[in-house]
Structure 1
C-alpha cells in the first residue's frame, strides 16, 4: 500500500470513528484507559525510545509519567465541563431588537492532524498534549509519526488503540501515518479540520502555508522556533552570579539542549565572576548524542557559523567527544547585537547559548525592544533588588514577546496546569492566543455554535433546561455553578 493510500485510509477511519458523538463521560474513561495502558507498558516503551532517541532512561521514564498525567488531566478537564463555555440567554421581547432564546456551546471541530515532535517522543508525540486535548474535545486524531522514533510511534499507537477497544471505545479515534509526502497530503485532506504541529520553523511554515492555501483554509497550530530570552540584573549577578551561571549551564545543556524552552539568549552585565563560573560549569558538562543525524549536522553548522562572526567570542566550550554535541557558550556586546538582531536570534537546536552583554539599562531596553516572539522570557533579580525600574521594564518588554514570563528560575520545565500558557508570538507559534499545554489547549479543537429557539430534544444535554449534567454555565449573564 502506498503512503498516500495509507493516509487516505487513516483519515477516513478516523472520520468514521464516531468520537464526535461520544459523551464527555465516555471520553474521560477512554483517556484514563490509555494513560493506564501507557503506564503498564512503560518499561517496554522506555527501552525502545532509548534506542531510537539516545535520551537517557531516567529522562524517558519521567516523560512517560508526564504523558500519562496529561491524558488524565484532560479527562478531568472535560469531566468538570467549564471548557464548553455553555451560555444561555432567556427570551426578552421587550428589548430592541427583541432577544430570542439563545444557547451557545463549543463543539468538536472535526478530524485533527497531529505532527509528532522529535525531542519529546512521548509527551509531544503520538499521545502528546495535542493528541490528548483533541481526543478530549471529541476530535479524532491522525498522527503523523516522527521519523526519529518510528518503532516507538507504531507501538504507542498500537497500545492506545488496544486500550480504546478494551474500554469499549473506538480504536479509529487514533490512527497513524508515516512519511514526508503523507504529512503534506494530510494537511491538504478535505476531512482534516485542524493541525497541531511541533517542530522547526522551516517545516512548520511550509505546512502552515499549505493549510492556508486550501480552498477552505483550516487552523494550523504550530509551535516553531524560540530562543527564550533571559535578563539578569546587575544586582542579581553581584548577589548570586556563580549560582545563576551554574543554573544556566544546567538548563541550556539539559538533554543536549533539545528543548523548545531552552534559554538560548541571555542578557547579562559584564562580570568576570559570572564568566568564570559559567566557563567552569560548561567545561564540566557532558556532551549528548543528538536525536537524529540531521539535527546533529544542523547544530554543528549553525554553531560554526555563529562562532565565525567577527564580533562573537567563544566564552566556553565543553571538550568534544566523537558523536556528541559539545556545549558552547558564545558572547557578544549589546551594540553588535543591535546591529544585526535577526542574525543573533536564530535558534540553535542543541547545547548552545548566546550571552549579550549590556552596559546600561538604556542599552538593555533597546535590545529587548527588537526581540522576536518566544515561548518564554525570564528575569533574574536579587530578592532585595533596588533595580525595580529595570525589573519592571524587563517584565514589560518580555510580556510583549513571550507567552510565559518567569522569575528566578529556568524555563525548561512546563507544568501541566489550568493556568499554563505554552505559546507566543511568531515564530514561537502560529496562533499566539492559544496554548499547546494546559487546560485551554483544548480550545484549539472546538468551534462555537448557537441555538436559537431550539426544542429541548435537539439541544446538547449541557444546554437543556435544568442543567441535567450539572456543568458550569452562564445563564442570563450570571455564572452558575454546576
Structure 2
C-alpha cells in the first residue's frame, strides 16, 4: 500500500494545509520518508460536518450490517499486517513480532465487537408495557434503548501504535456503538496510522456507509486537538497519554457551552503486593516474573508493574536477587520517542532525589534514545514520607519497597492514588491479610490480579482497563474489553409510541430476536 502522507477526510485525501512532518526512526535518529500532512481547523470542521451528516444513518444501520463492517476492518488489518509491522518497526523501534501480535489483537477486538453488535445486548432494550387498567392512574407503554452519543474524537496513543491507535480498541468500540469517528493520529507513527486509516476508509466504502463514518487528521501542535474538543458537533473524546495532557483536554471539554465527556487513560504504577507466605514460598520466581513483565516494551506499557511491595523477611533476599539479576542482564533498548526518553531520564532523577537507592542497572545506552533498565529500592517509611516515590516512571525502571510489617504495608496501600490495576501474590496462609487488603485495593483500582501480573491483559467481556483518578477521568468506564462500548452510549425512552415508529430493537414481536427486559424479566418475546 503506497503512503501518500495525506489526511483522510471521509472518502477524500487532503494534502497539507498547515505544514508537514516526517516520521523519526528512534533507533537511528533519522527521518523516514514520505512527508505527512498537517491540517488546520478547516479540515477538522470538514471532518466533523461529514461525521454529523453520517450519524443518523450509521446509528440506525442494522446490527448485521454494522457487525459485517467491523469484520471487514478486521480482515483488512490481517491483510496488511506484514506491511504494517515493517513500517511501525521503523517508526517505533519495537520488534516486528511484537507488532504482528498487536495487529492480531486489534483484529480480534474488531471481531469481538462484531459479536457484541450482533447480540444486541448493548442496546439494553427495556420494555414496561402499558397498564391501561392500573389504578389510581393508568401506565403508558415505556420502552428504552441505548443509542450512540454522536460523532467522537479519538486521540491515538504512542505506546501501542496499533491496539491503542487508529485501529485500536477505542475506534472498535466507538464504531460498534454507532459513533462516527474522527481519529487524531499520533505523530510518533504517521505511516502506520495512514495504513490503518486506509483499511477503515476502504471498509466504509465496501460497506456502503456514509463517508463521514471515519476520518483521519493530523496536526503539528495543540491546535488540532483543541479544535476537535471544541467543535460543537463532537459529542465525546477518548485519550490515552499523560495526566497533564489528559486533564487539559478534560477541562477544555467541560468549558464548552455544551460540555462533553472525555474518557482519559493517564497514569498508573500498578502496585504489586507480595504477602508473607507467598514471599517465603516463591520469592525468587515472583521477583523474576515481576521484572520480566516490567521490562516488556521497554517499560512503556500502561499496565507495567512498576512498584513491588514486600515485608522484609523469609524470601525477601531471594526476591530481590532475582529482580537484580533480570535487570542486570537486560541491554538498553530504543524507546518510542525522544520525548518519552527525555521524560524517563527526568523521572529517574526525581526518584533518586527523593531517596530511592539504585540497586541494579542493565547495559549502558548505545543509541540516542535508548532506555537503560534500572531497579531501585526504598524503605517503606520513606515512601510514606514522600508520595512522589509512588508516581509513574514511564520506562524500564521499577521500585522495590522493603516494608517493615503488616501495618506499614496497609498504610502504604492506603496512600496510593487511583490505579489501572493492583496485584496480590498470596498463599493460603495469606488469606486473612488479603481480606484486609482487598477493600483498600477495590477503592483504588479497576482490576485486581491474584498470583499473576497485570501485564498483559486479556480482552474479554469481563476485563476492565480503568480505575479512579488519576488512572482515568471516569472510573465508571473501561477502555479495554467489551464493556468499553458503554462510553459511547446514552439511553432514550420512547413513551406511548405506535409500533411502526418504534426502533427495531423495541418493536412488538421482537423482530431482532434480542434478549429484552420486559416488565422486569429477561425475555426474547
TM bucket by the smaller chain? Answer: over 0.9
1:178 aligned to 2:228?
Answer: no
Contact 1:34–1:160 (CA under 8 A) maintained in structure 2: yes
Say if 1:416 and 1:438, in contact at 8 Å, map to a contact too: yes
> 1:92 corresponds to which residue?
131
- Alignment partners' CA distance in 2, 1:64 and 1:117: 15
Q: Does the aligned pair in 2 maintain the 1:161–1:172 contact within 8 Å?
A: no
Q: Which residue of 2 aligns with 1:321?
A: 365
Kept in 2, the 8 Å contact 1:282–1:327? The answer is yes
Sort the Cα spacing of 1:273 and 1:153 in 2 relative to 1 into closer, same or farther, 3 A.
same
Q: Distance in 2 between matches of 1:95 and 1:63?
A: 59
Cα distance in structure 2, aligned partners of 1:97 and 1:222: 45
1:383-394 equivalences under 5 Å are 385-394=428-437
- Residue 423 of structure 2 corresponds to 378
Are the equivalent residues in 1 in contact too, given 2:146–2:491 (CA < 8 A)? yes
Any idea what SS the aligned residue of 1:369 has? helix
Alpha-carbon contact 1:140-1:173 (below 8 Å) kept: yes
**Cα distance per residue 1:172-191 (max 9 Å; x no partner):** 31101111311111001000
Shift of 1:166: 2.0
On the 8 A contact 1:334/1:356 being kept in 2, the answer is yes
Q: Is the 8 A contact 1:275 1:315 kept in 2?
A: no
1-side partners of 2:330 and 2:279: how far apart? Answer: 21
Note the C-alpha offset of 1:96: 4.8
1:480 corresponding residue in structure 2 = 523
| Structure 1 counterpart of 2:492 | 449
What displacement does 1:354 show? 1.1
* Corresponding residue number in structure 2 for 1:159: 199
CA contact (8 A) 2:58 2:180 kept: yes
Stretch deviating more after TM superposition (210-219 or 352-361): 352-361
Encode CA deviations 1:196-226: one digit per residue, 9 max, x unaligned. Answer: 1111111001000011111110011101111
Q: Does 1:140 align with 2:180?
A: yes
Q: Displacement, 1:245?
A: 1.0
Q: Secondary structure at the match of 1:237?
A: helix
Question: 2: CA distance between counterparts of 1:312 and 1:228?
Answer: 18
- Whether the 8 Å CA contact 1:231–1:394 is kept in 2: the answer is no
Task: Name the CA distance, whole Å, in 1 between partners of 2:151 and 2:125.
Answer: 22
Q: 2:382 aligns with which of 333, 336, 342?
A: 336
Contact preservation (8 Å) 1:162, 1:171:
no
Quote the offset at 1:97 in angstroms: 4.7
Q: Structure 2 residue aligned with 1:219, among 243, 251, 261?
A: 261
Residue in 2 that maps onto 1:15: 52
2:267 paired with 1:230 = no
Q: Distance in 1 between matches of 2:256 and 2:209?
A: 32
**Long gaps (5+) in structure 2:** 1-16, 19-39
1:429 maps to 472
Match of 2:84 among 45, 53, 56: 45
TM-score under structure 1 length normalisation: 0.97
**Distance of 2:136 and 2:97 partners within structure 1:** 64
- May I ask how many residue pairs the two structures share in their alignment? 478
Q: CA RMSD in A?
A: 1.3
- Alpha-carbon distance between aligned partners in 1 of 2:319 and 2:288, rounded to the nearest angstrom: 9
Distance change in 2, residues 1:376/1:97 (3 Å): farther
State whether structure 2 residue 407 is matched by structure 1 residue 362: yes
1:57-96 pair list within 5 angstroms: 57-93=96-132, 94-96=134-136
Query: What stretches of structure 1 of length at least 5 have no aligned partner?
Result: none
- In 2, the alpha carbon distance for the partners of 1:78 and 1:433 equals 21
Q: Which residue of 1 aligns with 2:451?
A: 408
8 Å Cα contact 2:278/2:430 also seen in 1: no
CA distance in 2, matches of 1:171, 1:124: 23
Match of 1:337, SS state, is helix
Structure 1 residue 168: Cα displacement:
2.4
8 A Cα contact 2:273 2:423, kept in partner: yes
Write the deviation string for residues 353-405 of structure 1: whole angstroms up to 9, x where unpaired: 111211211111111111100000000113xx312221212222211101000
Cα distance, 1:481 vs. partner?
3.7
The residue number in structure 1 matching 2:462 is: 419
Secondary structure, aligned partner of 2:333: coil
- Return the match for 2:171 from 131, 141, 149: 131
Q: Which secondary structure state, in structure 1, belongs to the residue aligned with residue 371 of structure 2? A: coil
Equivalent of residue 481 in structure 2, options 411, 416, 438: 438
Cα deviation, 1:404-431, whole Å, max 9, x if unaligned, reads 0011111111111111111000011111
Distance 1:424 1:97, change over 3 A: farther
1:210 aligns to 2:252 (yes or no): yes
The farther-off stretch of 293-302 and 231-240 is 231-240
CA 1:178–1:160 in 2, change beyond 3 Å: closer, same or farther?
same
For 2:363 and 2:93, how far apart are their aligned partners in 1? 19
Match of 1:107 in 2: 147
Q: Residue 378 of structure 1 contacts residue 405 of structure 1 at CA under 8 Å; is this kept in 2?
A: yes
Equivalent-residue separation in structure 1 for 2:193 and 2:212 (angstroms): 16
Match of 2:7 in 1: none
- TM-score, normalization by structure 2: 0.89
What is the distance in 2 between the residues matched to 1:160 and 1:450? 32
